[in-house]
Amino acid sequence: MSPFTRTNYVRVAVGAIVASFFVAVLLSRMPASVDASFSAEPQPTPKRARKYSEFPHDTKAHKLDCSSCHKFPSDNWKKARAADAAFEDVTEYPKHDSCVRCHMQQFFKGSQPQICSICHVNATPRNGVRHPFPNPRETFDTSAKGKIAESDFVVSFPHDKHIEIVAGNGTRSMSFINARFEETRRRNEASCSVCHQTQMPQGTSEDEFVTPPPAKIGDAFWLKKGTFKSGPNGHTTCFACHSAETGMLPAPQTCAACHQLKPPPIAVDFDAKLAAPMKIENKRMMDAWKRRDSSGTFRHEFFGHVELSCSTCHNVSTMKTADPKTTRVPIASCATCHATPTTDDGGALNYEVDKRKAEPAFQCVKCHITLGKLPIPESHVKAIVAASGK
């Protein structure tokens, strides 16, 4: 089939008027199997107006095997990271053949079809330049697309199956430690830092804020350094063990073993309007803040907090990272210090509860950004009762 006759065929098939050379270029990039099958596939009939500018994983028709779109490893995996840090990984967008069998219509719509913008910067039949793929995030997060992108997924990571075997300094040469029953907590908690470090610690610096606050900040909230812990930024740590060489399951190409669609949103202790003037460029930090649903102001790096064992506040054996209800930090772990027998003993929780009782419009701000506007939950009342010893 010559490019010319192919072009006419597509015109009839999709009923769209397109520049013939445009279609010819696109089709020349498509494998023959797709070319042969597309006319037999039913075309999607949109029920509502769709913009086709963002790819949703949760659309019914997209809930396919991950491998039908994501090929492991990508052709470019050796180029996506520095030579000494490269490993087999998915580092490029799915190719046209993952989409066209269902989206022929969108692929040939107008001179610059909207759907191209999901993967391409400024797609034309000759310009194939793409946004960086969301992995590795070090590159993606600093791109125009990456700065505003939100993931469709959460990571499911069973801490209980890992804490005794993960150790070392976080490099890819981590050693396997014999799990012994007498493993100390200290040993296990040293493992936490392989994957979780304090983000932007204040350390010995005088400057406690993440970005410069306005001159007249007063008691108003402004984000401080050392608030958030980081998490794994991608596959480097996981694939050190979960690789073809080690044979440790889940295998790297079984994406769904670790990635699960986001659960329905729950109330978080975050306010985009309050955060906006802070102009925080660090995407990881903002991602952590947006997920906080216990205390939006809690700082890990703080003299009263930093010496505590992680297990004071986090129970990693009952935590399911894909279920936010199980990762919540109970107020009981704060109450040992922030609730006192009476308000005069200095407990911040007592103080705020008293204030709220006196003034119904009082907003609790010590530990909260937005949750402090809501009614006082049962857990807080119980914590005060427990502290009073009655």
259 binds ligand HEC (CB under 6 A): yes
Residues 144-163 that bind ligand HEC (CB under 6 A): 151-153, 155-159, 161-163
Q: Which residue has the tokens 């729950």?
A: 266
Name the residue with tokens 């401080």: 224
- Nearest 5 degrees, angle CA 276-CA 282-CA 286? 55
Q: Is 297 in the site for ligand HEC (CB under 6 A)?
A: yes
Residue 365 CB: number of other CB atoms within 10 A? 15
Using CB under 6 A as the binding criterion, the count of chain residues that bind ligand HEC stands at 138
Q: What sign does the dihedral 161-167-173-176 (CA atoms) show?
A: negative
Specify the residue, 9 or 157, whose C-beta has the smaller distance to ligand HEC. Answer: 157
CA atoms within 13 A on the CB side of 264: 0
Site for ligand HEC in 23-52 (CB under 6 A): 25-26, 29, 44, 46-47, 50-52
Cβ of residue 345: shortest distance to ligand HEC, in angstroms?
12
From residue 73, alpha-carbon distances to 103, 132, 244 in Å are 25, 16, 11
| Interface with ligand HEC (CB under 6 A), residue from 31, 37, 64, 147 | 64
Q: Please say whether the beta carbons of 171 and 184 come within 8 A.
A: no
Which of 275, 313, 320, 388 touches ligand HEC (CB under 6 A)?
313
Residue 151 Cβ, how far from ligand HEC at the closest point, in Å? 3
Taking CB atoms, the residue at the shortest distance from ligand HEC is 128
- Distance between CA atoms of 77 and 244, rounded to whole angstroms? 15
Asked if residue 255 binds ligand HEC (CB under 6 A), the reply is yes
Our finding on whether 103 is near ligand HEC (CB under 6 A) is: yes
Calpha distance 382→377 (Å, rounded): 9
Among 10, 18, 27, 93, binds ligand HEC (CB under 6 A): 93
What residues from 172 to 231 belong to the interface with ligand HEC (CB under 6 A)?
Answer: 174, 176, 188-189, 191-192, 194-196, 224, 228-229, 231
Burial of 36 (0-12, 13-18, 19+ CB in 10 A): exposed
Which of 232, 215, 385, 237 shows the shortest CA–CA distance to 321? Answer: 232
43 vs 104: CA distance, rounded Å: 8
Cβ neighbours of residue 96 closer than 8 Å, sequence gap 6 or more? 26, 29, 30, 34, 107
Residue with tokens 């596959």: 235
Answer for which of 9, 13, 35, 98 binds ligand HEC (CB under 6 A) is 98
Instruction: State which of residues 23, 223, 349, 369 lies at the interface with ligand HEC (CB under 6 A).
Output: 349
CB of 154 to ligand HEC, least distance (A): 6
| Nearest CB to ligand HEC, comparing residues 14 and 368 | 368
Interface stretch with ligand HEC, choices 7-15, 30-38, 211-219, 376-384 (CB under 6 A)? 376-384
Contact pattern from residue 115 through residue 134 relative to ligand HEC, giving x for each residue in contact according to CB under 6 A and a dash for the rest = xx-xxx--x-xx-x-----x
